[in-house]
Amino acid sequence: MTYISAVAAPSIAAPAASFRLASSASPLALLMRLALAGMLVWTIARCVLIALYADRLQTVDGFRHALFSGVRVDLITLGWGLAPAILLLPITVFERGQRLWHLSARVWFTGFLALALMLEIASPAFLDEYQVRPNRLALDYLGRPQEVLPMLWGAFRLSLIAGVAALGGGLWCGWQLFDSAGGEPRKTRRQLWLWPVLVVLCVLMIRSSLQHRPANPSTFAHWDDSTANQIVLNGTYTLGYALYATRHEADVGALYGRMSDDELLTLTRAQPSFANSPAERPTLHRLVAVASRDKPLNLIIVVQESMGAGFSKKLGGDADDTPQLDRWSRRGWWFENLYATGTRSARGLEAIVAGFPPSPARSVLKRQKSQGNFATIASVLGSHGYTSEFIYGGESHFDNMGGFFLSNGFNRVIDQDDYDDPIFAGSWGVSDEDLFAKAQERATTLHKQGTPFFSLVFTSSNHTPFEYPDGRIVADGDPRTARNAVRYADYAVGAFLDKAAQSAYFRDTLILVVADHDVRIYGEDIVPLSRFRIPGLLVGADVAPATITSIASQVDLAPTLLSLMGISAEVPFVGRDLKRSLPEFGGSDSPRAWMQFNDVFARYEGDVLSVLLPGGETRRYRVAPITRTLSPMPAPEAAARRRLLADVQLPAWLYDNRAYTLNR
């Protein structure tokens, strides 16, 4: 009878039990378990990376900093993980609230720990490939699983399997670790007084600073070696910060420092070419063609995926991986100091096709305000009666390429579905041979019809997992490497140029072959300048052979091509007409190039590289002539700092104000 009464009593008194005070000891234990588990995972993973990159850390004497600053980063990340549970901690004063808190905390802590474990497993491969921990690139890839998963399976199979296993194992272990079943809650309010202390402690952990600004990745950028700086961080932190930065990426001022619109426009219009531009379109100016032609030329731009200057023996590469491109270099303009604006294809395409300068924000190919009435070579040529086509071997919706191009002057997109019986198809689409056969077919057809045309041809064979047809090249070692893929890409573009030279359209057409970026952007410098250097070749029509040794940027290509074609027009392009500006052609402008490397913005001019870091810090480096390694210089003067800040603010202003258009 006594037993029955004892069991039944809680049921009879259920309404009152809803408001019964409960102990917070069990919640505190769960908070402590997450803290210990998280710190253990990040510390072990960082020690592994320290061992893998011991030579890089030894060079900068960074072992102690990597360990102790790494703990600080881990505490910030831990603060993110603890914050939701701590904020909801007061509901545990009631039994029903405690049950809800326990379930929510168990789910959240399990997911957080599993994600942390997976990202640490993925970090070594990510660092090896991209020289950064998982960041916004990982977020971009998550949005394109149909293209990315075959690539991961083909090139990073072990890392993929290990990551999935880590995620699954983390979920199982976390679910067991954060099980709060058992234990009788005590009737006391005392531990609730600890809640304000926990909130303050959590805020201090997340801010990790008592200064005006909380700590951010630049706080831990202790050296000029970007890879060494990445070891200090952890994968959960970099991915979380990427999510935050994506949400606030339009606010360049928050990242680098504020500049008023008046000052920005004054500095922009101080440049001679923009002196007469309207205030609402500060870069809109009249481009006057250097070539006067009765019939303007056609244009073909071949954008080579992931082909850095280091693959070309003529550009100083160790191996002869681009013999066809090097052979053709004697027949036109050959760029020896051409620089990409970024590290991703979308960034290269926006610079080459739209002449748009780099910024820390996503490429304009993927942003909403640029999906229409945004200036490109195609939109300029459209007003002169040209037909513009984007020819790609894969799926054109990747990076929103097809949508952006069709919204901004292109008349047609040709992609993987438009190839009948291709020679070869891999993870990223048909082979370069199939692609160039289509480009040759379209150029021949449009020329026969008497239709002026612009073809943008984008290759994909030189992309992880490096798939291409057998029997075309003599592979060096493992066929599926970047070097062998570049050799195949060079073989294919060489065959295309040879065929084009024998075609009727060649004498009426400019053909530019240029890379979007290098295959891997890495190095010990804060900006690995040599990895931003790319090959560039301009042939066709009446182009006389010339070697261009001056610095040039991808953003200079659009105005230069239009000028050589014989097209005069009002354009907002910020780049220069190289035929007028470079010393090789009698120009007097100082050659320069801009580039964005993760969250570091850089301007390369003369033999000086100026960089802008998050938080507004600026640095200068002397560039060695051949190796392009960097030596620290005194910080730039105030005027130079403002100029650099204006360089990075201008793209955001043009985009936000829809000012990158052809009309006044």
Q: What is the pLDDT of residues 27-62, one digit of tens each?
A: 888 899 999 999 999 999 999 999 988 888 887 777
DSSP 94: B
pLDDT surpassing 60 at residue 76: yes
Rg (alpha carbons) of the chain, rounded to whole number: 29
**321 and 230, same domain (yes or no):** no
Give the residues across from 569 on adjacent strands.
Answer: 287
DSSP 507: G
| pLDDT confidence bin for 147, thresholds 50/70/90 | low
Name the strand (E) or helix (H) holding 303.
Answer: strand 298-304
The answer as to whether 308 is a domain residue is: yes
Sole residue written with tokens 């040529």: 381
| pLDDT confidence bin for 8, thresholds 50/70/90 | very low
The answer as to whether 254 is a domain residue is: no
Domain extent at residue 33: 20-247
Boundary-marking domain end, from 213, 247, 281: 247
Boundary-marking domain end, from 192, 222, 247: 247
| pLDDT confidence bin for 113, thresholds 50/70/90 | very high
The answer as to whether 13 is a domain residue is: no
Percent residues over pLDDT 90 in the chain? 58
Number of domains making up the chain: 2
**243 and 344, same domain (yes or no):** no
Range with lowest mean pLDDT among 150-154, 293-297, 368-372, 416-420 = 150-154
User: For the segment 348-403, what is each residue's pLDDT rounded down to a tens digit?
Assistant: 999 999 999 999 888 999 887 898 899 999 999 999 999 999 999 998 888 889 88
The answer as to whether 6 is a domain residue is: no
**228 and 283, same domain (yes or no):** no
**240 and 365, same domain (yes or no):** no
The answer as to whether 3 is a domain residue is: no
**152 and 73, same domain (yes or no):** yes
- Look at residue 308 in the predicted model and tell me its pLDDT: 94
Nearest to 59 by CA among 518, 634, 635, 629: 629
**395 and 278, same domain (yes or no):** yes
Cα 342-346-348 angle, rounded to 5 deg: 45
What is the rounded distance in angstroms from the CA atom of residue 635 to the CA atom of residue 621?
A: 9
**296 and 196, same domain (yes or no):** no
Considering only residues 176 and 514, tell me which one the structure prediction assigns the higher pLDDT: 514
| pLDDT confidence bin for 11, thresholds 50/70/90 | very low
- Look at residue 17 in the predicted model and tell me its pLDDT: 39
Boundary-marking domain end, from 189, 219, 247: 247
**402 and 466, same domain (yes or no):** yes
Q: Region 549-566: what's the mean pLDDT? A: 97
- Look at residue 146 in the predicted model and tell me its pLDDT: 63
The answer as to whether 533 is a domain residue is: yes
**237 and 277, same domain (yes or no):** no
**173 and 291, same domain (yes or no):** no
- Look at residue 193 in the predicted model and tell me its pLDDT: 78
Nearest 10 degrees: CA dihedral of 120, 126, 131, 133?
-40
The answer as to whether 234 is a domain residue is: yes
Q: Region 170-177: what's the mean pLDDT? A: 88
**274 and 240, same domain (yes or no):** no
Q: Please state the length of the chain.
A: 664
Q: Region 231-248: what's the mean pLDDT? A: 80
pTM for the structure as a whole:
0.74
Q: Region 294-309: what's the mean pLDDT? A: 96
* Long-range CB pairs of 623-628, under 8 A, 24+ apart, other chains included: 623/529, 626/316, 627/530, 628/529, 628/530, 628/533
The answer as to whether 2 is a domain residue is: no
**373 and 242, same domain (yes or no):** no
CATH number at residue 444: 3.40.720.10
